[in-house]
Amino acid sequence: ALQGAITVAEKLLAEVGAPYYFKGTEILVGASIGIAPFPASGQDVETLMNHADIAMYRSKESGRHGYQCFTQEMRLETTRQRAAEQALERALHAGEFELFYQPRVATDGQRIAALEALLRWRDNGTLKSPHSFVPLLERTGLIGEVGDWVVASVCGQIKAWREAGCDVPLVSINLSASQLRDVGLSRRLRRILDSYDIRPDTIEFEITETLLLGKDETVKRVLQELRELGCSIAIDDFGAGYCSFAYLRDYRVDVIKIDRGFISGITAGSTEALLVGGIIRLARDLSLKVVIEGVERQEEVEVLLPCDPDEFQGYLFHRPMDAAAIRKLLCFAPDPPNSDVSQNWH
Ligand code: C2E
Ligand code: MG
Ligand code: MG
């Protein structure tokens, strides 16, 4: 029976997949098929449809235009994923998300030029990194709600630091691809900023370059609206993805953050050093600010300083820390006069 279903699926795919022409334009249509054979995949219509659905989604995930046969493993995976989704939703409402902040330091002194807000999940006492849950937030669409929470939290925090007498620098916030496809984003964010009385030029949004590449008109519009609001835009992980200069032309941005991949273990005269130097010169011509991410060692600083970037961010200077630690840093660590990174960070 399964072989029969597969034969039918293949025939359907061949039929549907054949190009056809509409007013002289070639049109390609794809299909994703899920197969749930009776009785192995279920005894009744409802269960079978359900399982065929799971297989169909699996087929969509593994690339368009294909088929997948239902397996019990798929059902377990789906159940696990649903449990993880529910845990995240619960975490949001139970207040288990937290923000850490990592300082960005100006290269012309130890001045803290900005803070990057980094999401954490305090799950049963362990602090989880966003790598372990942001992709799931994105897949489930929960990232929209969590993203709004992040912005509101940052605003509340800036207010609290100010009330404690701190001089608060720019704060940067990471945005995911799916958030930028949300046409309501800038309106909601403006409302949040207004309600905390935070000027938009206090906030920078970091966007990962890979997502900009699709020439998505919605993304373009949303980014433009955020800039019109008065927030600045940074390209995160510059050079790590499908690096293309097209987006520097297509999207107006203010800052590029050069990815740690270029930096770790960099030596004078290496290809990496030449690339970073070139990127920084290009950025200068385009009037963009340059931040170097993930600086861990003094030797890296020595190689990078002659390239003249604007800011460093990395464990060598500061690790991400909670709001209380940042308050101490902002309130009790005045700038030493005329300090220079190359002399002060040994
Ligand atoms: P990112 O925006 O590129 O953030 C920098 C990451 O590098 C952070 O990891 C930071 O802790 C880490 N890092 C900083 N300095 C160093 C260093 O010297 N060495 C090394 N090895 N790592 C360093 P983190 O906090 O785990 O965040 C990972 C990613 O998760 C972020 O990468 C960002 O893309 C995403 N993310 C974080 N917070 C949010 C958020 O609120 N919303 C969204 N959508 N994504 C977020
Ligand atoms: Mg970032
Ligand atoms: Mg980054």
pLDDT, tens digit (0-9, with 9 covering 90-100), for 21-49: 888 888 888 899 999 999 999 999 999 99
Amino acid 25: pLDDT: 87
Taking CA atoms only, the protein residue closest to ligand 1 atom 33 is: 174
Amino acid 343: pLDDT: 45
Average pLDDT, the chain: 91
pLDDT tens-digit readout, 181-226: 999 999 999 999 999 999 999 999 999 876 555 677 888 899 999 9
CA quadruple 91, 93, 96, 102: dihedral sign: positive
pLDDT tens-digit readout, 96-149: 999 999 999 999 887 999 999 999 999 988 999 999 999 999 988 899 999 999
Torsion angle in degrees (nearest 10) through CA of 299, 303, 307, 313: -20
For the ranges 60-74, 135-149, 150-164, the maximum mean pLDDT occurs at 150-164
Indicate if ligand 1 lies below 6 Å from the C-beta of 99.
no
Higher-pLDDT residue of 112 and 338 is 112
Give the three-class secondary structure for 340. coil
Indicate if ligand 1 lies below 6 Å from the C-beta of 259.
no
Instruction: Using the mean position of ligand 2's atoms as its centre, give its distance from the Cα of residue 21 in Å.
Output: 45
Taking CA atoms only, the protein residue closest to ligand 1 atom 37 is: 118
Asked which of 244-253, 266-275, 310-319 is least confident by mean pLDDT, the reply is 244-253
pLDDT tens-digit readout, 280-307: 999 999 999 999 999 999 999 999 999 9
In this predicted structure, the answer to whether residue 6 has a pLDDT above a threshold of 90 is yes
- DSSP-assigned beta bridge partners for residue 171: 115, 203
Instruction: Using the mean position of ligand 2's atoms as its centre, give its distance from the Cα of residue 261 in Å.
Output: 14
In this predicted structure, the answer to whether residue 341 has a pLDDT above a threshold of 60 is no
Amino acid 345: pLDDT: 42
Instruction: Using the mean position of ligand 2's atoms as its centre, give its distance from the Cα of residue 339 in Å.
Output: 26
Torsion angle in degrees (nearest 10) through CA of 105, 107, 110, 111: -60
User: What residues sit around ligand 3, an ion, with C-beta below 5 angstroms?
Assistant: 236-237, 293
Question: Which ligand has its closest atom nearest to the C-alpha of 102?
Answer: 1
Atom of ligand 1 nearest to the CA of 100: 25
Amino acid 242: pLDDT: 64
Indicate if ligand 1 lies below 6 Å from the C-beta of 42.
no
Amino acid 344: pLDDT: 42
Atom of ligand 1 nearest to the CA of 173: 41
Greatest CA span in the chain, whole angstroms? 80
Question: Which ligand has its closest atom nearest to the C-alpha of 147?
Answer: 1
Provide the residue count of the chain.
346
3-state helix, strand, coil in the chain (%, to 5): 50, 20, 30
CA quadruple 236, 242, 247, 248: dihedral sign: positive
Amino acid 342: pLDDT: 47
Q: Hey, what amino acid is at 22? A: F
Taking CA atoms only, the protein residue closest to ligand 1 atom 26 is: 129
Indicate if ligand 1 lies below 6 Å from the C-beta of 129.
yes
Tell me the CA end-to-end span of the chain in Å, nearest whole number. Answer: 71
Indicate if ligand 1 lies below 6 Å from the C-beta of 102.
yes
Higher-pLDDT residue of 248 and 129 is 129
Q: Return the structure tokens found at 100.
A: 């850490």
Mean of pLDDT values over 319-323: 97
Instruction: Using the mean position of ligand 2's atoms as its centre, give its distance from the Cα of residue 323 in Å.
Output: 17
pLDDT above 70 as % of the chain: 93
Query: For residue 163, how many other CB atoms are within 10 A of its CB?
Result: 8
Taking CA atoms only, the protein residue closest to ligand 1 atom 7 is: 294
Q: Return the structure tokens found at 16.
A: 């549907």
Q: Return the structure tokens found at 99.
A: 């923000």
Q: Which of 116, 119, 173, 345 to mutate to test the pocket of ligand 1 (most atoms within 8 A of CB)?
A: 119
